[in-house]
Structure formats: structure tokens, C-alpha cells
């Protein structure tokens, strides 16, 4: 992170010290400087909503809880040293990817979304926040999974509010190298999705290695951080063509489970 970025003293009722304390309560270490940069990110997203539909949270206090704190919980489930390659699939306004890139210096992050307007916003935010080694990419995960520069090249894939776990696995696991991890951010439906997706994840070379459950004060319901270990190479036929994973998920018909995919995350 370059020094020229302007940290923010407060957003709504949240200042840097309060954000540091709240992160600590979630098991995440954050210093005051980076807390100020995260509050600047909150400013950028809230202002960007005037041009692009980035988030339903337009109140500053709600945004900090629902998006900054919720994104930081990833660091309570996976340990990052700062040199890892991470890909955020369906990043939207840069969540959780930008939050993690600020919180973990040196993280080499690729933030992927299929909506060009959102990717342009993320590019602007990367420049404004002074982040290095971070890139926004306009693409579909189904295409990237077959690109040699992307396939099985990442230590960590993260996804938040995108799709059911078996569908997410087909988007993310082809990008993760053997020995790496895929982290899916879920609400109360997480354990049920994990059970439903076990066979599909095995087909893709993964297995659920952990389920970190926690609550974020101010957010309803329990949060689940599902950690999927990449234990073997993904067969070359995956991911299937754009749109097919959602239309014909490996775990079977969508049924009622799809409703839980975005619970509490938008």
C-alpha cells in the first residue's frame, strides 16, 4: 500500500479505534492506519452507489458492519502471511477482496466480476487506496478456469454472496492450486450447503476442511466460513461452459437451497 492514500478518521459512528476493537473481538488483528484506509473504502463505495448499484447498504454504520467487519471475518478462518495469491470471485464492489488486500500487506489479489461497471469502480478504488499487487478483472470464472495463467495458480479463492456451495466450487476450485484453499462466506444455510455439496466438491478435487461459525454484532443470524481444501487436481472438463454450473449444478437441482446463498451478504 503506497503512503499517499488518505485514511479517514470516521464513517458514521465508526472511527478507527472502534473498528480495530471490533475486528479484535472477531479474532482479527488490525492496526489504526489500515482501519482508516478501510473507512476510506467505505466512503468510496457509499459515494459510488450514486453511479453504480454496488450495495444495498447505503447507511454508513450498516455498511461498516455488513461489509467491512463481515469481510474481515475471513481472516479468522484462514491465516494469510501476505505473499499469497488470492482470487475473489464475484467481487462486486470489491468485497471481500479489497478489505483483505488492505488488511494483509503484500497480498497479491485478483478481484473478478462479470459486470464491467463494477470492475471499473474497483479499479478506481484500487488506485485511490494506493494498493499494489491488486488487479480488478472483468471476466467469467467459467472462462478463467481454463486459462493457463489462471488455472490452479492461486493459494486462496474467496467468494461472498455469489451462489450455492456446489456451484461456487465449480467456479473457484479450478483456480486453486493443489494444497490451496477455497473460502466460501455463508449465512445460517452454510452447513446444509456443505453437506449437499460434498460429492460435487470431491469431483472437483476438494473437500470441506473446516466450518468456522461466528456471529457479527449487528448482523442477524450465524455466519459460516466454509474452508474447502484442494486435495487433488480438478479434472480438465471443469469448469463447464458459462451458465452451465448454475443451470445444471453438480449436486443436483437448485431446489430451496439457492435461497440461502446470499443470505445476509448483500
Domain holding 127: CATH number? 3.40.50.150
Give domain status of residue 192, yes or no. yes
Contact of 161 with 90, CB cutoff 8 Å: yes
Give domain status of residue 23, yes or no. no
Residues 208 and 196: their CA atoms lie apart, in Å, by 11
- Tally of CB atoms within 10 A around 13: 9
Give domain status of residue 139, yes or no. yes
Task: Give the domain range for residue 102.
Answer: 74-260
Q: pLDDT tens digit string along 134-153? A: 999 999 999 999 999 999 99
CB proximity list for 41: less than 8 A, separation 6 or greater: 68, 94, 98, 99, 102, 125, 129
Strand partners, 89: 112, 159
Q: DSSP 3-state helix, strand, coil percentages of the chain (rounded to 5)?
A: 40, 20, 40
Q: What is the pLDDT of residue 38?
A: 97
Contact of 41 with 129, CB cutoff 8 Å: yes
Burial class of 17 by CB neighbour count within 10 A (0 to 12, 13 to 18, 19+): exposed
Backbone torsion region of residue 133, taken as left when φ is above 0, otherwise alpha when ψ lies between -120 and 50, otherwise beta = left
Give domain status of residue 42, yes or no. no
Give domain status of residue 6, yes or no. no
What pTM was estimated for this model as a whole? 0.93
Give domain status of residue 203, yes or no. yes
Q: Which cell numbers hold the place of 192?
A: 446444509
Q: What is the pLDDT of residue 266?
A: 53
Q: What is the pLDDT of residue 108?
A: 97
Give domain status of residue 176, yes or no. yes
Q: Is 207 helix (H, G, I), strand (E, B) or coil?
A: strand
Residue numbers in the chain where pLDDT is lower than 70: 1-5, 254-266
Q: What is the pLDDT of residue 58?
A: 87
* In the chain, alpha helices (H): 16-25, 32-48, 60-63, 70-72, 74-77, 97-103, 116-129, 141-144, 165-172, 190-203, 244-247
Cell match 450495495: residue? Answer: 55
Q: What is the pLDDT of residue 187?
A: 94
Q: What is the pLDDT of residue 162?
A: 77
Give domain status of residue 4, yes or no. no
Q: What's the structural domain count of the chain?
A: 1
Q: What is the pLDDT of residue 82?
A: 84
Amino acid at each position: 500500500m503506497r503512503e499517499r492514500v488518505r485514511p479517514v478518521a470516521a464513517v458514521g459512528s465508526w472511527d478507527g479505534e472502534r473498528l480495530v476493537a471490533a475486528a479484535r473481538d472477531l479474532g482479527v488483528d488490525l492496526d489504526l492506519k489500515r482501519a482508516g484506509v478501510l473507512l476510506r473504502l467505505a466512503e468510496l463505495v457509499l459515494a459510488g452507489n450514486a453511479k453504480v448499484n454496488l450495495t444495498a447498504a447505503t447507511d454508513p454504520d450498516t455498511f461498516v458492519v455488513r461489509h467491512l467487519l463481515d469481510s474481515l471475518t475471513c481472516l479468522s478462518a484462514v491465516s494469510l502471511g501476505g505473499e499469497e495469491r488470492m482470487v475473489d470471485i464475484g467481487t462486486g464492489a470489491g468485497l471481500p477482496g479489497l478489505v483483505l488486500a488492505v488488511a494483509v500487506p503484500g497480498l497479491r489479489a485478483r478481484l473478478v466480476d462479470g459486470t464491467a461497471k463494477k470492475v471499473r469502480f474497483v479499479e478506481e478504488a484500487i488506485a485511490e487506496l494506493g494498493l499494489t499487487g491488486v488487479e480488478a478483472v472483468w471476466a467469467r470464472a467459467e472462462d478463467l478456469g481454463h486459462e493457463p495463467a489462471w488455472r490452479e495458480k492461486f493459494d486462496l479463492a474467496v467468494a461472498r454472496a455469489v451462489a450455492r456451495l456446489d456451484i461456487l466450487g465449480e467456479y473457484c476450485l479450478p483456480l486453486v492450486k493443489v494444497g490451496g484453499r477455497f473460502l466460501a462466506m455463508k449465512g445460517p444455510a452454510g452447513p446444509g450447503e456443505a453437506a449437499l455439496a460434498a460429492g460435487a466438491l470431491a469431483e472437483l478435487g476438494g473437500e470441506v476442511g473446516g466450518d468456522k461459525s461466528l456471529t457479527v454484532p449487528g448482523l442477524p443470524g450465524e455466519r459460516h466460513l466454509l474452508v474447502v481444501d484442494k486435495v487433488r487436481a480438478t479434472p480438465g472438463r471443469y469448469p463447464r461452459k458459462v451458465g452451465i454450473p448454475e443451470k445444471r449444478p453438480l449436486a443436483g437441482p437448485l431446489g430451496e437451497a439457492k435461497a440461502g446463498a446470499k443470505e445476509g451478504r448483500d
